[in-house]
Structure 1
Amino acid sequence: MTQTAQVKQTFPNGTAQVAVVRQGACAHNCSECGGCMTAAQPTVTALAQNAVGAREGELVVVETENAQLMGIIAFVYLVPMVLLIAGYLVAQAFGLTQGWCILAAVAAFAVSILLVVALDRRVKRRRALQFRIVAVQEV
């Protein structure tokens, strides 16, 4: 997956801190929406490998592995819904009342949130999601 980012800071070890406008907040089609003259767009900052020698303030193209990113996205969105439904159905299979089924679904959903938080910490600790600057955009 590629995104446009702005280099905020460069480091001597060949990395750079980049700010990426969240895709959901910006369609990157400025001619149709009037550009970025609106309210501040939500941004995400991340470290990226700076093999192209981008400098502070430059707009760059940042890339990450699609397969790994899609796996993380699938886990974050699907696991909570699957566990929510599974919690309800398992409780129902045991013949519990609707109130207990709902409680079991909420408990299973809470467990899924803990799993998502654990995944987030693991990804951050292992730096499993690596960003690379692949090109400097011409203005």
Structure 2
Amino acid sequence: MEEQGLVLENRGDEALVKITRHSLCSRCAQKCPMASMEHETDEIEVLVSNPVGAEKGQLVKIEMGEKSLVTASLLIYLVPVIFLIAGYFAGIYLSGFIYDTTPGETAGIIGSIVFLLLSFLVVSYIDKKLGQKQKYQPVIKKIIGSSEQ
């Protein structure tokens, strides 16, 4: 994935970069009704690796590996769903031991909610661990030019 951004601050091996994100429709060449509507843009500030030595005010190309992006997306979207389903069955299974009756839907729903909340903690922990690895860090690949502010 490639993005362009403006360097706000040089911090040696890292740089603080402002990236303007656009919706996918805003970049689409099709002339469908969705493309003609106003689309949301969002400015974010990201701390990125700066091996090229970009300075404040320069426009840069930032890149993050596709494989890393897919792995992060799977983590964020699939882990909570897996925990949600596992929590439902765990709730039903455990309710048989606790209430000594036929497993109920309520126990499954409660188990789903508990496991879903637990999944957010697990995702947060894994995110911190993966965030420390270099391959999951965005990197400035080249300096495009300067920006007049």
Q: Shorter chain as normaliser: what TM range? A: 0.7 to 0.9
Give the structure 2 partner of residue 20 of structure 1.
Answer: 19
- Whether the aligned pair in 2 keeps the contact of 1:25 and 1:42 (CA below 8 Å) is no
SS at match of 2:103: coil
Q: CA RMSD in A?
A: 3.0
**TM-score of the aligned structures, taking structure 1 as reference length:** 0.74
Does 2:131 correspond to 1:132?
no
d(CA) in 2 for partners of 1:77, 1:89: 20
Give the structure 2 partner of residue 56 of structure 1.
Answer: 56
Give the structure 2 partner of residue 84 of structure 1.
Answer: 84
SS at match of 2:62: strand
Percent of matched pairs sharing the same residue: 24
d(CA) in 2 for partners of 1:23, 1:109: 30
Candidates 100, 103, 108, aligned match of 2:107: 100
Q: Deviations over 1:81-134 (max 9, x none)?
A: 11101211343455521111100110110110110121233234x254222111
Give the structure 1 partner of residue 118 of structure 2.
Answer: 111
Give the structure 2 partner of residue 68 of structure 1.
Answer: 68
Q: Deviations over 1:5-31 (max 9, x none)?
A: 1111113x24311122345488457xx
d(CA) in 1 for partners of 2:121, 2:113: 13
Provide structure 1 residue ranges, at least 5 long, that are not aligned to the other structure: none
**Structure 1 residue 56: Cα displacement:** 1.6
Structure holding more helix per residue: 2
